[in-house]
């Protein structure tokens, strides 16, 4: 009888704790989604600033992502964009970001742009 009472008490404690665990996980997921939205917006704005600084005509979608660029009087659909930081070694052997290299992938090839603009 004592084992059954202990088992029921353990089950009761477990069931009362589960909603709290679910709420905590939901909060973490919501925070991660908000951060992902912020980082995506920041990336899209940076890409637009780089293209504007080089006077490369471009089009964006509703979210601000670059979807087409104009090269040699031809509009190219952008399938992917990669941003790679360019690092330089400092005097104290530390690494610092000095520029960013942007790769615009299209069906006709890859456009490579190097920019000293900062993301933030």
Residues 39 and 63: beta-carbon distance below 8 Å: no
Tokens of 82: 């990669």
Between CA 117 and CA 38 the distance in angstroms is: 19
Between CA 20 and CA 49 the distance in angstroms is: 44
In angstroms, how far is CA 53 from the centroid of its own chain? 22
pLDDT at 15: 63
Eight-state DSSP code of residue 59:
E
Whole-prediction pTM value? 0.72
pLDDT at 10: 67
Nearest to 63 by CA among 82, 83, 48: 48
Question: pLDDT tens digit string along 28-66?
Answer: 888 899 999 999 999 999 999 999 999 999 999 999 999
């Amino acid at each position: 009888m004592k084992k059954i009472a202990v088992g029921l008490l353990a089950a009761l404690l477990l069931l009362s704790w589960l909603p709290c665990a679910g709420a905590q996980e939901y909060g973490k997921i919501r925070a991660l989604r908000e951060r992902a939205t912020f980082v995506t917006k920041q990336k899209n704005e940076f890409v637009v600033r780089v293209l504007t600084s080089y006077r490369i005509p471009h089009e964006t979608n509703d979210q601000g992502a670059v979807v087409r660029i104009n090269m040699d009087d031809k509009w190219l659909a952008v399938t992917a964009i990669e941003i790679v930081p360019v690092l330089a070694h400092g005097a104290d052997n530390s690494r610092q970001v000095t520029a960013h290299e942007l790769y615009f992938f299209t069906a006709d090839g890859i456009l490579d742009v190097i920019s000293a603009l900062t993301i933030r």
